[in-house]
């Protein structure tokens, strides 16, 4: 069975039976064209290991359809879009060293200000980790040229699961997370934990890589119909000065995705990739919606 990811709200079709999708994407049984879903680079952060996450300006290219400049993570020396998947384990300590290499000016924070400001201050926030708020501190502010190390002590009884992380400076969260500063966070159980037999096979032999759904609003908001909210271009232009120009370049001779709106999703950085499922076999699907705006 072949599943093909398309752009917006739709259905899942199995042998002519349609079911609504809760992920805002069209999953379609298809024998048509489409690349296999790519695997996002993964790094393991256990045993007090330190992962280096450099925030810098970089070029994002999507399937030969579009490219643009954005703020991206260079994780342990490699830039990827989406950002690298980070794997932690219950009972272990993980250090994430975030170094802000953006070239924007130092920015003065104003207490209580939550409008568009300070586009190049960054921070890191996780969803799903049961750790101290001092470890996952959303009030950290990493100015250009500065760094901060987040130390996560994952409890020994922490549940396994699929979570995510993203930049979280109040004033530029949408700008940075939509642009690529977001990724999957996986937690594995402690080695002493015994999975139930019926789940052991699913988790030990994952046939489909974790799937991260990135929302790219690169077109004109007016062309989006009821998707009429901030596009990435709108967000970039809310800041004065614009420190990372979008420099948007669409491929020549190809229509914009999603009926010409240029407002669409990618899955693991690819447009409409296929997921292969064996008939009659159970398959584990891990999905993270790393969008913003709705």
For residues 181 and 244, what is the distance between their CA atoms, to the nearest angstrom? Answer: 14
Tokens of 89: 């384990």
Tens digit of each residue's pLDDT (9 = 90 or more) over 39-58: 999 999 988 889 999 999 99
Indicate the pTM of the whole model.
Answer: 0.87
Tens digit of each residue's pLDDT (9 = 90 or more) over 148-196: 999 999 999 999 999 999 999 988 999 999 899 999 999 999 999 988 8
For residues 278 and 282, what is the distance between their CA atoms, to the nearest angstrom? Answer: 8
The number of beta carbons lying within 10 Å of the beta carbon of residue 3 is: 22
For residues 193 and 182, what is the distance between their CA atoms, to the nearest angstrom? Answer: 29
Q: Return the residue matching tokens 């594995």.
A: 188
Cα end-to-end span (Å), the chain: 31
Question: Is it the case that residue 228 has pLDDT exceeding 80?
Answer: no
For residues 168 and 155, what is the distance between their CA atoms, to the nearest angstrom? Answer: 23
DSSP β-bridge partners for residue 214 = 266
């Amino acid at each position: 069975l072949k599943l093909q990811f398309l752009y917006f709200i739709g259905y899942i079709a199995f042998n002519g039976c349609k079911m609504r999708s809760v992920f805002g994407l069209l999953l379609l049984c298809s024998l048509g064209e489409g690349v296999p879903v790519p695997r996002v680079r993964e790094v393991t952060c256990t045993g007090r290991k330190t992962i280096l996450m450099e925030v810098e300006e970089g070029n994002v290219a999507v399937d030969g359809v579009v490219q643009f400049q954005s703020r991206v993570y260079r994780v342990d020396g490699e830039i990827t879009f989406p950002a690298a998947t980070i794997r932690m384990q219950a009972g272990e300590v993980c250090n994430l060293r975030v170094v802000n290499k953006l070239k924007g000016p130092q920015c003065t924070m104003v207490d209580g200000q939550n409008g568009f400001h300070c586009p190049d201050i960054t921070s890191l926030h996780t969803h799903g980790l049961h750790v101290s708020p001092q470890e996952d501190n959303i009030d950290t502010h990493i100015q250009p040229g500065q760094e901060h190390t987040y130390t996560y002590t994952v409890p020994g009884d922490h549940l396994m699961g699929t979570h995510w992380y993203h930049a979280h400076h109040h004033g530029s969260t949408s700008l940075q997370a939509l642009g690529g500063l977001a990724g999957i966070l996986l937690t594995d159980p402690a080695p002493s934990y015994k999975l139930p037999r019926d789940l052991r096979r699913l988790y030990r032999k994952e046939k489909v890589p974790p799937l991260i759904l990135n929302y790219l609003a690169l077109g004109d908001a007016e062309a989006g119909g009821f998707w009429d909210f901030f596009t990435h271009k709108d967000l970039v232009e809310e800041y004065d000065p614009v420190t990372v120009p979008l420099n948007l370049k669409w491929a020549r001779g190809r229509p914009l995705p999603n009926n010409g709106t240029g407002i669409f999703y990618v899955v693991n950085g690819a447009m409409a990739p296929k997921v292969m499922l064996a008939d009659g076999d159970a398959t584990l699907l891990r999905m993270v919606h790393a969008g913003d705006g709705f």
